[in-house]
A and B are shown apart, each in its own frame.
Chain A
Amino acid sequence: MSDAQPLRKLVCVFAASALWAAPMARAADPAEFFEMRVRPVLAKNCLPCHTASKMGGLDMSSREALLSGGKSGPAILPGNPDASLLHQAVTHTHARLKMPPTGKLTETEVADIAAWIKDGAVWPAKAQPAGGQQWWAFQPVRRPELPRVRNQAGVRTGIDRFIAAKYEEKDLKPAPQASRQTLLRRVTLDLTGLPPTPAELDGFLRDRSPQAYERVVDRLLSSRHYGERWGRYWLDLARYSDDKLNSTQDEPYPNAHRYRDWVIDALNNDMPYDVFVKAQIAGDLLPEKDRLAAGTGFYSLSPEFQDDRVDATTRGFLALTVACARCHDHKFDPIPTRDYYSLQGVFASSEKDELPLAPGDRVKAWKEHKERIEKAEEEIKEFLKSQATALAEVLAARTSDYLLERETETLDQEILERWRAFVKLKHDYPFLKPWQDAVARQAPRAELEKIAAEIQEQAVAVQTERKKIEETNLIRLGGSKKRGDLAAADLLSLERDKYFFWRQLYGENKIDDNLDSGVLYLKEKKLERFLAGPFGAHLGRLRASLETLKKTLPEQYPFLHTMKDSAKPHNVKIQIRGNRETLGDEAPRQFLTSLSGGAPKPFAQGSGRLELAEAIANPANPLTARVMVNRVWLGHFGTGLVRTPSNFGRLGEQPSHPELLDYLAGRLMDQGWSLKKLHREIVLSAVYQLSSAPREDNMRADAANRHLWRANRRRLDFEALRDSLLAAGGSLDATAGGKPVPLTAADNHRRTVYGFVSRRRLDNNFLLFDFPNPNATSEYREVTDTALQRLYFLNSTLVEAQSKALAKRLENAAPENPARIREAYRILFGREPGKTEVEIGTGFLAASRNAWPRYTQALMASNEFLFID
C-alpha cells in the first residue's frame, strides 16, 4: 500500500482545509503555497465534478488539464488572473459561469487563487500512483499454473501447492495435522453451524479408510443445515431483517422470511452462484421467474431512510465502494461520479412489488374483503362521532343547570358527576376561573347564577366557532383531508385558551384519570345509553355486520417481496457534491466504466436491471467470482485471502495469495459456479486441516498467520453458539423455514437463523454476541469478548435450562459419573476426556449434592466450548 501514501496524505489536506482560519503569509515557495492554500480549495470545491466526471468538459486534476480547458476554453491563463476563466467563475464576474454551484468561495480563497494564477499557476508534479485501471482487482482472472514446491509432504490439493509455495518463500513450517476429533468438530461446525453428535464422532473414528474424511464432508454438504449456516452469512450482506426501521412503532415484514428461506434453499440446492446473483438483482425479469423472483428480496427488503441499493450491490457482489463516488469521483478507484448515478438510475427505474403466492381471485377477494372491513369501521366511527357531538351540543345548552346543580331530577347523574370532577380540576385557561373563585369564597347564589349563565354562553359559542373553523379548513384543503396535504396546509384554529376549553368540553381525548374524554363528549357504553330507538338499532346493525366481516376474513395470502421495472424507466441527473439541489448532467443507465472494457453501452431494456445482472454475473467480470471465493474462504479460515472482503479497491488490502484467489475463482466458474464444490475443495485441502498449535519460529515471522501456517482458533458466532447449546441439551428443534420466532419466546428452540431479526430493536442476545447491524450491508462478523457475554453463560435462562437438560440427558445415558463425564465431553467438545479431566469432574460432583447441572454449565461456560479449534 505504500504507493497509496501520497494520496492518503492528500485526503488529510482536504480535511484540514477548513482549519485555515487565520490568514497565512504568502509562502516564499510557490509549490508550498499551492499545496497549502490552493490545492485544498480546488480539492474541496472543484475536483468533485472536474476530474473523471469532467463537467462542462473541464478536467482540473493538473495544470495541463486546466490549460487545455473545457467547453468554454482554457481555464487559466498563467500570470493573468483577470483573463482566466477559473478566476472569473469564482469571482462571479463571468456572465454565465459562476462557480462553485454550491456557493461562493470566501474572499481569502478567491484571493489565493488569483495570487496563484498571477505567480504562474505553479502545480508541482506528484508521484502519482499507478493508474486505477491497473489495480490487481480489475485484471482478468487468470488460470495460474500450480506452483512447484520442493517439499511435497503435506500437499494434498491444488490449494496446498499455492500455500506451500508461500511457506517456502517465507520460510515457514506448517503446524502438524489436527487430530481427527478436532477436525471433525471444526468441519462440522464450519459447514453446518452445529457440533458433531457422539454417534458421528464414533462413526468417523471407526472409519479407518482414506476416504473417511471425504465422506464426512459430503455428508455435511448434503445436510440441510449447510444452507442454514451459510445462508445466514449471505443475509449479513443482504442486510436481512424481519421488520422495518419504523421510527415510532414496530412494523414487521410478515413475508420477509420467504427471501431468507429462498437463500437457504438456493445454497442447499447448490444453485450456481451466477444464477444466484442474477436472481437477486433481476429474478423477476428472468425466464425462470417463478423460481428466481424471490431473490429480489435483496432489494425490496432494503433498509428504510436511505437508498443504499447501489452500495449493497457494488460492495456485496463486486467489493467496490461505488457509493464513495456519490459526491465526488472516487478518490482511489477508477469510479467517476457518473457511474454512481448510472446505477442509481437503474434502481430509480425499479419499484418494490409483491408477488402473491396464491391465485389471483383469492388475492382480489382478500383485498376487497379487507377494504370492506376498513369501510365498515370508518362508518361506525363516523356515526358514533356525529352522535356524540350532537349529544354534547344538547348537553351544553344546560351547562348552567349542571354547574348550579339546579332541577337535579332532570339532570343525568353520570353527566353531573363528570361536571363535578371537571370543575375541581386546575385549568390553564381563564373560562372557569370566575366560577371556581366564586365557589371558593361562597359567593351569593345570584352571582353564581350569573357566572354559570356566562359560562354556558361561552360553552355554546366555542363549539359554534370551532365548527366554522373546521368548515373553512375543509374548504382550504379542497374538501379532503389527506395526510400528505396536511403538513403543508395553511389552516386556522381556535385561539389557544379557547381550544383547550373546547377540547375539555367536546374533545375525544382524555382529560384526566376520571374523564376519558371531554365532559360532554361521551364514548362507547356511556354514549350508547343515550342512543335509543332507531339510532341504537342502526349502530347494532353496523356492528353486527362488521363482526361478520371480520370473522369471515381469510388469512392474508402469502406473497414474495420482489421488484419490478417502473412503467417509465428514466435516467437520473448527477447531484453535484451529493446535493440534490444542484443537479448536473444526466447519467445514462449503464454498467461501471472500469468493468466495461471501454466506454459502457447504455442499458436498453427497461430499468436495465437485467443487463446489470448479466454484467455482474459474467465470467469476464474480474470481481464477481473472486469476491465470492474470498467470502467462502473467510468463512472457513476466519480471515479472507483479501482481508477487506467488501472492498477490493485501492483502499482495501491486497490478497495474501493472489494466484490462489485466481485459481479458486477460475475453478468456481469452470465448475458451473458450484459453491458446494468450492467448499469441498477448500475443506479437503491440507491447509484447512492443520492444527492451531503455535510455533515460536513462525510467530516471529508471521504472528498474524497471514500465510496460514496453522489453523486460526475462532470464537463461535452467536448462531453456532446458541444452536450448539440447544443441541447439547438435546432440545434443538430442527424444523426448517417459515415464520421467524423471537429469540426471547420461551419455547423457541429453533435454529437461530429462524429467530426474528429486527432493524428497530435487535434482540439483546444478538447484540451481545456481535450480530451484524441489519441496517447496512455487513462484510464480516466482528468478534469481541466481553464480561457481559460471560454473564450470559453464568446466568442466562437459556444456558441454565440447557445445562439442566444436558445433565438429565447424561443421567439417562450412563449409570456412573465417569461414564457420564465422558459422554458430556463427547457431546460438548467432540472428544474423549483425559484421565485428569474425569478426576476433576468426579471431584467436583462429589463435593456437593445435585452438582450435575452446575458441572454441565461450567463445561458450557468454558473456552473449549466457545471456540472452534
Chain B
Amino acid sequence: MPPPITRRDILRTMGSGFGLLSMAGTAAHGGSSLDPKPTHFPARAKHVIYLFLNGGPSQVDTFDPKPMLTRYHGKAAPSGNLKTERKTGNLLKSPFEFKRGGQSGLEISEIFPGLVRHSDDLCVIRSMYTALPNHEPSLFMLNCGHILPGHPSMGSWLTYGLGTLNRNLPGFVVLCPGLPVIGPQLWTSSYLPGVYQGVHIRNQETDPEKLIPNLRNTGLSDADQRAQLDLVAQLNRRQLDRTGPDPQLEAGIASMEIAYRMQTEAMDAFDIRREPQAVRDRYGDSDFQRGCLMARRLVERGVRMVQVYYGNGQPWDNHDDIMIHRKLGNEVDKSITALLDDLKATGLFNETIVIIGGEFGRTPSVEVSGLVNVQNGRDHNNHGFSVAVAGGGFKGGLAYGATDDFGFKAVENRVHPHDLHATVLHQLGLDHTRLTYRYSGRDFRLTDVEGNVVKPLLS
C-alpha cells in the first residue's frame, strides 16, 4: 500500500506558495480533514467494531443470569413491574441455560456457545440504562448521545477526533443490508463536517462495485483514466499557478489522487470473496455474518470504526416469543466468535474495541398486551440491560454492575450510554469533555454535559 499523499507532499512537489499557507484561512467553514490527528493522551485502542443487535436483546436471556427469575417464574414480581412501553404480566424465566466459561467463570447464555468460550475476553456491563422504553430515542442515545435526532453519531465524533489511518478508505463504515429503524440519522455527522458521515454499505451484496457508489468506471481503461487524471492535475496546477496558493484548491488536487487509488483499494477491502473459503465458512454467510468478516478486513486496513447492524428493522424485538433469541443468538455467535478469534490471532484484538449490544433490554416479565399473539416474549426495558465489550484494553472475564434480583433495573454501578461513550473515547486517547465542536455558538460533545469514564472496566 503506498503511503497516503498529504497536503504537504503535494506542496513540496509543486514547490509553490508564499510560505504563508499555514496562515491562509479558507473561506467559510472548510478545512476539515481525515488526516490522523494527535490524541489527547496515549491511546490504548485505535479501532471500534460496533456489532449492533438492533431491536433490543434481552439481558436475562443473554448476559445477565437470574436464578431468582427462574425460581419465581409465573409469579408476580414482588416489587411490581416497572413502567415500560406495554403491559407486562408475571415473571418469565429464561428458556436458556447459562454456562460458565474460561478462567473467569463468567456466565453467558447457551445461545452464545462461542462467546462462552471467549468468556475471558468479554467485559460484560450488566447495569446499562437509558431514559425511555422506545426504540427511536434509545437508538439515538446509544448512537448519538442524545434522545433526539440532529446530533452526530459516535463514529462521526471519533473520526472527527482521530482522523483515519487509511485515507484511501472512508473513516467510518456502516454495514446494514437495508435500514435499521430511523436509518441514516444513526450514522449522521449532523453538524460535524460531512466528511465524518458514516458511509452506509448495503452489505447484502458481495460485489464491491455494487456496494460503493461511483467506485468503478465502466467505460475507461485504466490507462485512459490515468491519462485523463493527469490532464485534470495539469489543469488544476495551472490554475493554482495563476491564482496563487489556496489550501482549498490544493486539498482538491490531493482528494482527486486519493479517489483514483480508492478505486483499487476499496475494491480489495470490501471484497470478502478474496477470503479463503474456509475463513468464509467460519463466519457464515448471513448478512450479519458476512458483515463481521468485512468489518475485520476494513479494520485491518485502517478504517477507524465499522458498525454492523444485525439487520433491517429491529429483528431482536421479540415481544411475542423469546425463543427467537436462540436462532438469532446462534447466528451472531458464530461470526462474532470467528471475528474475536481472528482479531486475537493477528494481535488487532488489543487495539480494537468490539462492542456487542442493542438499544435497550427486555422485561423479565412476560408481555401480555394486545399487540402480541402469544405471551412468551418480553417488552422493551430501558431500566436495565447488558452490553458486552471486548478488546481495546477492556478487562476480560468481568461482569460489571448488576440489575435487581429479577433483571429489571440496573441497581449497582449503573452505566449510562454517556459513560460507555466516555469510556470508549478514553481508550481511543480522547477526553470526552475535550472532544468538542463549536456549532451555532456552543461547544457540543458526544456526551452532552454528562458521562464518566468507567475505570473499573479497563485493564
Contacts and interface: CB of A to CB of B under 8 A. Distances in A.
Interface of A: 12, 14-16, 18-19, 245, 247-248, 303, 305-306, 308, 315, 321, 324, 428, 473, 477, 481, 483, 485-496, 499-500, 503, 638-639, 644, 646-647, 649, 651-653, 692-694, 696, 699-700, 703-705, 712-715, 760-762, 764, 767-770, 773, 775-776, 779-796, 800, 836-837, 840, 844, 847-848, 854-855, 857-859, 861-864, 866-867, 869
B313 A488 contact: no
15 contacts: A14-B449, A305-B136, A473-B370, A486-B371, A713-B248, A714-B28, A764-B213, A768-B213, A783-B28, A784-B32, A784-B193, A792-B214, A795-B217, A837-B235, A854-B228
Interface in B278-322: 313, 321
B149 interface: yes
B149 A245 contact: yes
A488 B369 contact: yes
A847 B227 contact: yes
Contacts of A315: 440
Nearest to B167: A787
B68 interface: no
Given A306-B149, A489-B370, A652-B441, A694 B18 contact: yes
A303 B413 CA distance: 36
B368 A705 contact: no
B244 A694 contact: yes
Interface in B235-262: 235-236, 238-240, 243-246, 248-249, 251-253, 255-256, 258-260, 262
Contact of B27 (A712, A779, A792, A848): A712
B168 A787 contact: yes
B238 A791 contact: no
B148 A306 contact: yes
Most buried by A among B86, B183, B313: B183
Contacts of B224: 848, 854
Given A703-B24, A779-B440, A787 B259 contact: yes
Contact of B258 (A692, A704, A767, A787): A787
Nearest to A648: B441
Interface string B208-231: 000001111111100011011101
B260 A794 contact: yes
Contacts of B345: none
B182 interface: yes
B220 A789 contact: no
Contact of A859 (B167, B218, B235, B243): B235
Most buried by B among A483, A773, A869: A773
B184 A866 contact: no
A866 B252 contact: yes
A248 B149 contact: no
Contacts of B442: 321, 324, 647, 651
Given A703-B25, A840-B231, A863-B253, A493 B372 contact: yes
Main secondary structure of the interface of A (DSSP, over half): loop
Most buried by A among B24, B371, B373: B373
B78 interface: no
Most buried by A among B150, B190, B368: B150
B5 to A, nearest CB: 11
A491 B372 CA distance: 9
A761 B184 contact: yes
A489 B369 CA distance: 5
Contacts of B393: none
A306 B321 CA distance: 32
B404 interface: no
B167 A481 contact: no
A248 B313 contact: yes
Nearest to A711: B27
A636 B293 CA distance: 48
Contact of B235 (A12, A499, A840): A840
Contacts of A869: 243
Contacts of A639: 27-29
B268 to A, nearest CB: 16
B193 A770 contact: yes
B179 A761 contact: yes
Nearest to A303: B149
A865 to B, nearest CB: 10
Interface stretch (B194-202, B332-340, B347-355): B194-202
A604 B193 CA distance: 44
B20 to A, nearest CB: 5
Contact of A786 (B220, B235, B255): B255
Interface string B367-405: 011111111100000000000000000000000000000
B30 A783 contact: yes
Given A495-B375, A761-B179, A795-B215, 12 more contacts: A14-B449, A308-B150, A493-B373, A496-B375, A499-B374, A644-B441, A781-B28, A783-B29, A790-B256, A794-B214, A795-B216, A864-B239
A781 B27 CA distance: 12
B92 to A, nearest CB: 10
Given A639-B28, A794-B260, A867 B248 contact: yes
B182 A782 contact: no
Contact of A694 (B24, B168, B184): B24
A792 B255 CA distance: 12
Contacts of B375: 492-493, 495-496
B456 to A, nearest CB: 12
B373 A499 contact: yes
B27 A714 contact: yes
Contact of B259 (A245, A488, A794): A794
Given A694-B245, A790-B259, A490 B89 contact: yes
